[in-house]
Amino acid sequence: MRIALMGTPAFAVPALDALVAAGHDVAAVYSQPPRPARRGKSLQESAVSLRAQALGIPVRTPLNFKDAADRADFAALDLDAAVVAAYGLILPVAILEAPRLGCFNIHASLLPRWRGAAPIQRAILTGDAETGVTIMDMERGLDTGPMRLAATTPVAGKTAGELTQELSTLGAGMMVEVLGNLAAFPPVAQPEDGVTYAQKVDKAEAELDFARPAVDLERAVRAFAPAPGAYLHIAGERIKVLAAVVESAAGEPGVVLDDRLTIAGSTGALRPTLVQRPGKPVMPTAALLNGWLVLAGTRVA
């Protein structure tokens, strides 16, 4: 098929690679424009843009599709289909209807649960036992289109980063399978029951609130790893927590209980195992404590 891939972060790269490997003609890649990133705030191209350039595929980065010229350029590609994976733009009807077979979305949840921007993080935060990928036809609503194929995987203590990598690879293979025989995967309407929405992650959510149970805190650590990174404050210094375990110890919420940086929650306690100080590399908590004595009784925030 003649296809456009529309995606931005690393989640969409396996789909691009899989489409090319399957022999499809990827006429163009659409991605978000370069954005300021890292300390110097220099413009950084998206992961998908960089991969497309390496493959010799033209990259287009419209801010949106409000400009008639951008819509006309898309229509002029004369596509059989478009594959969308974490693109980051709401597609207008003119774009959805331009490809002969329509637009297909690789969505990282078991629809209709977790429609929206951050399905992986919300599944972890809520304590879902499993999540997965749904291949769906796109329509005007937010992730409301009929489903072609779904597959599940256990959450099982995985971080958002780990799940993202797993689901991106899974979804890429599923998308190729569906495109290879559309008639074998007829569209099925989403159930009306079980709809939930995965709101975009706000960086403020990543601050650990020790008034909550330790189980919830550990989920937050996994949901925000590797980015933006859950964090707490010790002596006014912001410390990222990239991995942690739940302990059965108890105490006053937010207070360090021992020499291993075990911190009481409202029930149970959280012991960070992988941390990062500002401007420093990620390190085991034991390495942090070798050079920084944090006494039992210290209150974190």
pLDDT by residue, tens only, the chain of 301 residues? 999 999 999 999 999 999 999 999 999 999 999 988 766 678 899 999 999 999 999 999 999 999 999 999 999 999 999 999 999 999 999 999 999 999 999 999 999 999 999 999 999 999 999 999 999 999 999 999 999 999 999 999 999 999 999 999 999 999 999 999 999 999 999 999 999 999 999 989 999 999 999 999 999 999 999 999 999 999 999 999 999 999 999 999 999 999 999 999 999 999 999 999 999 999 999 999 998 999 999 999 8
Q: According to the model, what pLDDT value does residue 291 have? A: 86
* Reduced 3-state DSSP string for the chain: CEEEEEECCHHHHHHHHHHHHCCCEEEEEECCCCEEECCCCEEECCHHHHHHHHHCCCEECCCCCCCHHHHHHHHHCCCCEEEEECCCCCCCHHHHCCCCCCEEEEECCCCCCCEECCHHHHHHHHCCCEEEEEEEECCCCCCCCCEEEEEEEECCCCCHHHHHHHHHHHHHHHHHHHHHCHHHCCCECCCCCCCCEECCCCHHHHECCCCCCHHHHHHHHHHCCCCCCEEEEECCEEEEEEEEEEECCCCCCCEECCCCCCEECCCCEEEEEEEECCCCCCEEHHHHHHCCCCCCCCECC
Return residue ranges of the chain for CATH 3.10.25.10.
204-290
Structurally, at CATH architecture level, domain 204-290 sits in Roll (3.10)
Q: According to the model, what pLDDT value does residue 107 have? A: 98
Q: What number of other Cβ atoms are within 10 A of residue 160's Cβ?
A: 22
**Sign of the torsion angle spanned by Cα atoms 240, 242, 243, 246:** positive
Cis amide bond preceding 228, omega within 30? yes
Under 8 Å between Cβ of 151 and 170: yes
Q: Virtual CA dihedral for 72, 73, 77, 83, nearest 10 degrees?
A: -100
Q: According to the model, what pLDDT value does residue 37 have? A: 75
Under 8 Å between Cβ of 89 and 65: yes
Q: According to the model, what pLDDT value does residue 41 have? A: 72
Return residue ranges of the chain for CATH 3.40.50.170.
2-198
CATH class of 2-198: alpha beta
- Whole-angstrom distance, CA of residue 111 vs CA of residue 37: 32
